[in-house]
């Protein structure tokens, strides 16, 4: 009873803290402008199933794709065994599913053990690739400090959690194979389950286990509690980590852009101005109808995170910092300052800062900073060729190019800070109706030469 009460308290505390942080992230995402992504529902479900569940984009790099599949499938399916742990904690039972599954129970546990072993293999190789091979995309300048440590922490947590599961099973199978009468005499009767053979992986740990039943009991219980608390700690760590994509990859792929990647969105206020130019019946200077609310002037482009859409902000929280976008960016490859991964990381960092200011000071607080200039420099933005290679490479369909375009729109349309070459093009289009510096009347002179 005491164990069950402690379990419920620990679980409730972990669940509360997780829900609180998820609420903070959700509130931050909704600080963005509204955007309708409810069209083509069937296509969206298919995209989510293919990309988020099917890991289709990971196959572009087969080695990493296979290893990620080990870790992904392992963690998803092992949660079935975690369900049993939760129920055992609530009801004070031991391996509750055994009474329902019988002989099939050990088949299931063996399957989970193989998955746990594959997770361990995957994280060890990931660590080796990152720390020994030192793949360049993991050692870019934006990956110093916390981003580097975050990637390693999650690998260590996954390794320890899976190891604890195997240690628990190793101690448990010795106890379950012990004569029930001996277990009864030592007050360990709950371990008296019929064992058919050995567990697939943890049987190799049996040889290093002590023979004393009481010690085995403490090892099994200690590993059980460690695994449970570790899962809750891991769950609460995720919203602070890039690994929150474990949850956000699903909605992010569902709401991903279904139109061609190179198709730009129009600014509504600019579209309205153009429509009025072509419709003489509309008086642009007419007063609004009586009783109508005065329209708030819309900012052209984006200066800060609130000027981006909620989907772009969700992108920033979904970023895995894998660096695939930056590794294929032609601007980055030629030594330019631009890194699409850094664009997403900066957006998330600024959004977190805005959210904390909102909690501390309330709405309307101005900290004198913005995403543009304080986090992302114009030089980075103008290095982008808008080729969308970054969007194509992203395994969870994040769109860094859309943020870059919106920030550039602000620079041009609000600050008139476009590059000299572009400003000349804009002037020519305005005056001559073409990018070239000659009038429309001279446009066909080339045919006479």
Distance CA 19, CA 11 (A): 12
Catalogue all structural domains in the chain, each as residue range(s) with its CATH number.
2-30+61-254 (1.20.950), 268-281+297-442 (1.10.1060)
DSSP track, 225-251: HHHHHHHHHHHHHGGGSGGGHHHHHHH
CA separation, residue 377 to residues 161, 343, 404 (Å): 41, 10, 11
Phi, then psi, of 152 in degrees rounded to 5? -75, -40
3-state secondary structure of 376: strand
Q: pLDDT at position 13, please? A: 93
d(CA 273, CA 409) in angstroms, rounded, equals 16
| Residue entry with tokens 């969206």 | 44
Among 388, 409, 385, residue whose Cα is nearest residue 266: 409
- Gap between the Cα atoms of 124 and 134, Å rounded: 14
Whole-number pLDDT of residue 333: 94
Residue 211 confidence (pLDDT)? 86
* Measured distance CA(236)–CA(179) in Å, rounded: 41
pLDDT value of residue 436: 81
Task: Give dist(CA 391, CA 78) in Å, integer.
Answer: 32
**Residue among 447, 441, 384 at smallest CA distance from 411:** 384
Determine contact, residues 345/63, Cβ cutoff 8 Å: no
| One pLDDT digit (tens) per residue for the chain, 449 residues | 677 888 889 889 999 999 999 999 999 999 999 998 989 999 999 999 999 988 888 888 888 888 888 888 887 777 777 888 888 888 888 888 887 887 788 888 888 889 899 999 999 999 999 999 999 889 888 998 899 999 899 999 989 999 999 999 899 888 888 888 888 888 887 777 776 667 889 989 988 999 889 999 999 989 989 988 988 898 899 999 988 988 999 999 999 999 888 888 888 777 877 777 777 776 666 666 665 555 555 778 899 999 999 999 999 999 999 999 999 999 999 999 999 999 999 999 999 999 999 999 888 888 889 999 999 999 999 999 999 999 999 999 999 999 999 999 999 988 888 888 888 888 888 888 888 877 777 777 767 76
| CB-based contact 403:347 (threshold 8 Å) | yes
Tokens 């969700």, residue? 314
Query: Left if phi > 0, otherwise alpha if psi is -120 to 50, otherwise beta: which for 159?
Result: alpha
Q: Residue 55 has what DSSP assignment?
A: -
The three-class DSSP label of residue 33 is strand
Nearest C-alpha neighbor of 347 from the set 18, 26, 29, 24? 29
> Looking at residue 284, what is its pLDDT?
60
Q: CA-CA distance, 377 to 142, in Å (whole number)? A: 14
CA-to-CA distance for 125 and 25, rounded, in angstroms? 31
The Cα-based distances of 249 to 242, 245, 407 in angstroms read 11, 5, 25
Angle, alpha carbons 170-175-179 (nearest 5°): 145
């Amino acid at each position: 009873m005491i164990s069950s009460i402690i379990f419920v308290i620990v679980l409730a505390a972990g669940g509360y803290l997780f829900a609180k942080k998820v609420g903070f992230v959700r509130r931050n995402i909704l600080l963005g402008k509204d955007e309708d992504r409810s069209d083509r529902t069937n296509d969206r479900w298919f995209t989510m199933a293919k990309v988020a569940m099917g890991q289709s984009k990971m196959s572009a790099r087969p080695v990493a794709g296979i290893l990620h599949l080990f870790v992904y499938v392992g963690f998803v399916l092992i949660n079935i065994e975690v369900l049993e742990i939760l129920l055992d904690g609530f009801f004070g039972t031991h391996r509750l599913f055994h009474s329902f599954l019988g002989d099939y129970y050990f088949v299931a546990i063996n399957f989970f053990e193989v998955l746990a072993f594959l997770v361990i293999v995957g994280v060890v190789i990931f660590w080796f690739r990152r720390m020994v091979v030192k793949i360049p995309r993991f050692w870019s300048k934006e990956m110093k400090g916390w981003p580097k440590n975050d990637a390693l922490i999650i690998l260590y947590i996954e390794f320890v959690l899976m190891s604890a599961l195997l240690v628990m099973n190793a101690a448990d199978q010795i106890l379950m194979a012990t004569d029930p009468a001996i277990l009864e005499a030592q007050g360990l009767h709950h371990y008296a389950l019929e064992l058919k053979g050995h567990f697939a992986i943890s049987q190799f740990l049996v040889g290093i286990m002590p023979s004393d039943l009481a010690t085995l009991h403490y090892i099994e219980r200690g590993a059980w509690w460690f695994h449970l608390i570790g899962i809750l700690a891991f769950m609460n760590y995720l919203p602070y980590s890039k690994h929150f994509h474990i949850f956000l990859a699903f909605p992010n792929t569902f709401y991903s852009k279904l139109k061609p990647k190179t198709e730009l969105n129009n600014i509504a206020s600019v579209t309205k101005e153009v429509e009025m130019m072509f419709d003489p019946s509309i008086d642009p200077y007419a007063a609004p109808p009586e009783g109508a609310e005065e329209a708030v002037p819309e900012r052209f482009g984006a200066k800060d995170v609130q000027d981006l859409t909620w989907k772009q902000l969700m992108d920033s929280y979904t970023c895995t910092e894998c660096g695939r976008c930056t590794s294929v960016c032609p601007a980055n490859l030629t030594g330019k300052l631009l890194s699409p991964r850094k664009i997403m990381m900066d957006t998330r960092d600024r959004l977190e800062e805005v959210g904390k200011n909102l909690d501390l000071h309330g709405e309307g607080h101005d900290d004198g900073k913005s995403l543009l200039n304080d986090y992302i420099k114009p030089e980075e933005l103008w290095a982008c060729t808008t080729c969308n290679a970054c969007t194509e490479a992203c395994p969870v369909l994040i769109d860094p190019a859309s943020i870059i375009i919106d920030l550039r729109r602000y620079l041009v349309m609000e600050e008139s800070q476009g590059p000299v070459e572009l400003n000349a093009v804009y002037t020519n289009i305005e005056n001559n109706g073409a990018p070239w510096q000659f009038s429309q009347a001279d446009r066909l002179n080339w045919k006479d030469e």
